[in-house]
Amino acid sequence: MSVRFGEGRFGRIKLPKVGEVRCALHRRFDESLWAIKTVTVTMEPSGKYYITVLTENKKAVLPMKTTVREEATSGADVGIEHAFVMRTPTKTVVVDNPRHLQKHLDSLAVKQKILARKEVTFTEVTLPSGRTVKQKLPSKGYSKQQKLIAEEHEDIRHARRNFLEVTTTRVADDKQATTLVVETLNLKGILRNHCLARALADVGIGMLFRMLEYKFDRRGENVLRADRWYPSSKRCPVCGKVNADLKLKDRRWVCPHCGAVHASRDETAAINLRRYPFLSEEEKVLLARKDVGKAEQAADPLRAVSQETDLKTELRREPGTDDNQASAFEGSREGCFNRATGKTETSPKGLKHTAAVGSQEASSF
């Protein structure tokens, strides 16, 4: 295999059993310095062919990893509203989500509607095994419209990749930070949420993390991953307490412990991720617990009663719920803190009030 560069943009690449192929070159390289390892030829659904040349530098040696220092560490949070939020030692960098697919949804819907009206015929074909299957025979108009849709999807994919390349290169070239801390996400589990799957897939989070890792490795810098259960979004960076009541829809919140106002949930997560490598192992294990923050909340009986009252009210207002079900719910919670008597009552089944149990857990915790 060899590559022959021309005068301008175009050149030729020699492939085994194929010969020389004229192609548009994306990047030039010196064959005396870069050894060609593999060449992969792929065909896109739009009918275009791409050749990927994997090369190896004969003289390059990867630099040694730098030491993780607090003054040279940044934290990065990814999301839907903002594709990338990074907290450096001196500033906060916010990169908005360009929403490549969202911009093309209307155009794709029109083209898909036209495609659905094109003529398609089917014929039966007998396989060598003797099984008969139906073969799709699209018309010329169908194939032409299908190619238009494939070309638009290709443009979306290339725009997304270009955005990720530019963003990750800018982050890796930042000389202020030599260590980047990101969160560990269960991407397959997140994409099972049908309400957020398309928006999350449009960001390209998995590709973003892969680009960051190999670009930082090439520069001898570090990409660290926080524990999957580390509550980076729910932990107050001022007092260090965890707000277990925080929901996904709460983008701005006030810490119930110290009263600090957090205007941006993504920036709060980036600040906490930046501090993650410098926590003790005991703190990391403690914060990774799924019930973190609940013991402190359960220690306040009046707050627990108010939560039960709100839950009972929601149950009454739920469509299809009658008074008998609400009464049954109330009866099942007989072991509650009685605000009038100031005592904790127990039910015949031996149930105790959540606040009493929570206070015991808090003392042992």
Dist. CA 12–CA 25, nearest whole Å: 9
What mean pLDDT is predicted for residues 229-252? Answer: 87
- Say yes or no: 47 and 107 in one domain: no
Q: Is 317 helix (H, G, I), strand (E, B) or coil?
A: helix
Question: So what's the pLDDT on residue 321?
Answer: 45
Domain count of the chain? 3
Residue 182 in domain: no
In percent, the amount of the chain with pLDDT more than 70 equals 77
What mean pLDDT is predicted for residues 140-165? Answer: 94
Question: So what's the pLDDT on residue 36?
Answer: 82
Dist. CA 88–CA 176, nearest whole Å: 7
What mean pLDDT is predicted for residues 305-319? Answer: 42
Angle ∠(301,307,309) on CA atoms, nearest 5: 105
- Say yes or no: 298 and 358 in one domain: yes
Residue 177 in domain: no
Question: Residue 326: is its pLDDT beyond 90?
Answer: no
Question: Residue 327: is its pLDDT beyond 80?
Answer: no
User: Which residues, 6 or more positions from 364, have their beta carbon under 8 angstroms from its beta carbon?
Assistant: none
Angle ∠(250,171,199) on CA atoms, nearest 5: 40
Residue 359 in domain: yes
Residue 269 in domain: no
- Say yes or no: 301 and 358 in one domain: yes
CB 222 within 8 A of CB 68: yes
* Inter-CA distances, 365 with 191, 279, 293, Å: 35, 19, 11
Residue 199 in domain: no
Question: Residue 210: is its pLDDT beyond 90?
Answer: yes
Instruction: Give the least confident one: 38-52, 129-143, 154-168, 297-311.
Output: 297-311
- Say yes or no: 350 and 298 in one domain: yes
pTM here is 0.72
Residue 275 in domain: no
Instruction: Give the least confident one: 81-90, 93-102, 156-165, 285-294.
Output: 285-294
The enclosing H or E element of 286 equals helix 281-287
Ranked by mean pLDDT, the top range of 49-53, 161-165, 283-287 is 161-165
Domain end residue (candidates: 150, 167, 183): 150
Domain end residue (candidates: 150, 166, 190): 150
Domain containing residue 17:
2-57
Question: CB count, 10 Å around CB of 358?
Answer: 21
Helix intervals (H) in 288-353: 294-298, 301-317, 323-332
Question: Residue 71: is its pLDDT beyond 80?
Answer: yes
Residue 205 in domain: no
Question: Residue 4: is its pLDDT beyond 90?
Answer: no
Q: Which residue has the higher pLDDT, 249 or 293?
A: 249
Dist. CA 110–CA 148, nearest whole Å: 11
Residue 315 in domain: yes
